[in-house]
Chains A and B, each alone.
Chain A
Amino acid sequence: MVGGVCGLIGVYIVLRGMSYIGHGMSHAVFGGAVASYILSFNMYIGAALWGFISAAIINEINRRNKIKADAAIGVVTTAGFAIGILLISTTRSFTRDFESLLFGNILGITDQDLLVISLVSILTILFVFFYHKKLIFILFDKETSKVYGVKGDLIELIFSLVLATVVIASMNAIGVTLLAAAIVAPAISARMLTNNFLKMVMISTAIGITTSFLGMYASFYFDSASGATIVLYGAAAFGISSLYAFMRRIYHTHSHGDQKHAHPHIHEQEHQHPHQND
């Protein structure tokens, strides 16, 4: 479920050119989770508050200034992570408890975690379902979407908040240091396999579910860290899909005439722009 929902939202993140945000957001909420643990507060509420504030700050910096999103994410979220590390280092007795948060431990998932993951999955699916048209308009052409009445800034903020909840829900299972790959890997693998947006969303979700499932079983049998195993399966999925895309291109080049075979690059260009002379 975690893998699926990461794969689902990953498509929009990759196409928004903000692949780094999953990485950043997971680090930021780590600070919130640690702080709330130390203050004997519910970890989810603490992490959520922290995550929402980070998401809002990143969004605002990105919108108002000419700073690129990755730079904004880098500063805001690493600072959040640093606060978490600082808190751990000052209260050393807790250090061991945060290992699962950092690297993921699917076997340590509680009923409460499962409930949160289920709720977040439903929320994300509903959000993507009802906002899909607006999201692709904003991702493709934000200025014109504003002209036609799409409230782009508000939707981007909601999107960041949904991402924050996905990150928080996935934190225990995959671990904050590895979560970015769980979000991005299925999406870029799907991008290699299709040019169709809806298909990409479906393939990415399916890859997310499959890699988490396989990763979880492998980590159980080999007694390895679940987050790391899932992420390695994700990376393998990307490798396989890249290889598939490469082979398909080679096959496509070979299946045409000799002259074109001798000039594969020229042919590829022709293939992509068959109506260049229009």
Chain B
Amino acid sequence: MKTSNDICLKLQDITYGYSYHSSVLDGINLTVPKGRMLGLLGPSGAGKSTLLKIIVGLYKPWHGSIEFNNHSMCHASSSKEQRHNSLFQSTFRRHNDIPSIGYVPQIESVDWTFPVTVKEVVAMGIWDQSGATPWLAKNTSDEIDHILDSLGLDGSLYMKRQIRELSGGEQQRVFLARALIRNPHILLLDEPTSGVDYNTRERILGILTELNTRGMTIIIATHDITGLARRLPWVVCLNKNIVSEGSPADTLTEINLLKTYGLIDNTSITSTTATKEG
């Protein structure tokens, strides 16, 4: 049985929306134990990316609270907008109990023609630890080289490469390197396999599985049911609220998927079940 010390992240009653008359997330309760690798599955607009952004502190929920290792990071009713960010950032580096976060956004969220090198992008992950000068110290370069190597990109070759020259799979791994160089306890990824081919998807899944076996807690937002979600140890079906969670075998049932993808609602499920039982 899991004790409270084993809990990495706890979300209680998280509600959020982009306009005041409709919410995207409605009363999310989710507990993530340390070392779990889970997939957040749902259709476009289900609130997957929004939930990740709430967890990393980009959005402040209307309602609810977020706890990392039993330390409250955000309580909607008692704080101003900036509090989540500032409290989070000021404490998680100094306080051993607060996990550091690695965040991998969707690769489509940035302009890949921006004139920077792979090395400069990965170094962004440790902008606060790599000195005040515009250039990077030798040991930082070595660290970047090592991280890229571990992700299957030859560091010495890729570091100086312009990001505009990268393929989708390489872009994903560069973003992953930028998150991993922070040595995070919890890693959140937004659609890490969208727009990549079969080989790259397998490679990314392999890397994440290995990180997870080393104890990293990983949350992956995805809409890829067969390629990714079915192969993760734990799945959370999300569509505005949590439809179901558990192992893929128990969770990804036809009825749960229909419900997650909005093809049937709660009432029709109840009536279908009642008819079957009857």
Contact = CB atoms under 8 A, between A and B. Distances in A.
On whether the two chains bind one another, the answer is yes
A89 interface: no
A interface, size bucket: 20 to 34
Given A133-B123, A149-B128, A275 B114 contact: no
B115 A133 contact: no
A276 B58 contact: no
Given A198-B134, A278-B169, A144 B105 contact: yes
B85 interface: yes
Q: Please report whether the interface of chain A is mostly helix, strand, loop or mixed according to DSSP.
A: helix
Contacts of A129: 133-134
B127 A140 contact: no
B115 A195 contact: yes
Interface string A214-235: 0000000000000000000000
20 contacts: A15-B115, A133-B134, A136-B120, A137-B124, A140-B110, A140-B121, A143-B58, A143-B105, A144-B124, A146-B58, A147-B101, A148-B124, A195-B162, A195-B164, A196-B115, A196-B117, A197-B116, A273-B165, A276-B167, A278-B199
Interface in A121-172: 129-130, 132-134, 136-137, 139-141, 143-150
A108 to B, nearest CB: 36
B interface, size bucket: 35 or more
B56 interface: yes
B127 A272 contact: no
Given A15-B114, A15-B115, A278-B167, 7 more contacts: A129-B133, A129-B134, A136-B124, A140-B114, A141-B110, A144-B124, A276-B167
A65 interface: no
B20 to A, nearest CB: 15
Contacts of A139: 114
A148 B127 CA distance: 9
Interface in B150-176: 162, 164-167, 169-170
A27 interface: no
A136 B101 CA distance: 21
Interface string B191-234: 00000010110000000000000000000000000000000000
A134 B167 CA distance: 26
Nearest to B162: A195
A40 interface: no
Interface in A184-203: 191, 194-198, 200
Contacts of B127: 133-134, 137, 145, 148, 150
Interface of A: 15, 129-130, 132-134, 136-137, 139-141, 143-150, 191, 194-198, 200, 272-278
A132 B58 contact: no
B58 A136 contact: no
Contact of A141 (B57, B109, B133, B165): B109
Contacts, number: 89
A145 B123 CA distance: 12
B211 to A, nearest CB: 18
B58 A275 contact: no
B170 A197 contact: no
B167 A277 contact: yes
A141 B124 contact: yes
A278 B40 CA distance: 26
A214 B186 CA distance: 56
Given A136-B120, A136-B124, A149-B89, A194 B115 contact: yes
Sorted from nearest, which 10 A-B pairs have the closest CB atoms?
Answer: A132-B134, A149-B89, A278-B167, A275-B167, A137-B124, A147-B56, A195-B115, A147-B103, A133-B127, A195-B162
Nearest to A17: B111
A197 B101 contact: no
Nearest to B152: A278
Contacts of A136: 116, 120, 124
Given A133-B127, A144-B103, A275 B182 contact: no
Contacts of B1: none
Nearest to A271: B165
A133 B101 CA distance: 20
Nearest to B130: A133
B210 to A, nearest CB: 19
A187 to B, nearest CB: 11
Contacts of B165: 272-275
Contacts of B110: 140-141
Given A140-B111, A140-B121, A148 B128 contact: yes
B112 to A, nearest CB: 10
A133 B116 CA distance: 11
A147 B166 CA distance: 24
A149 B58 CA distance: 11
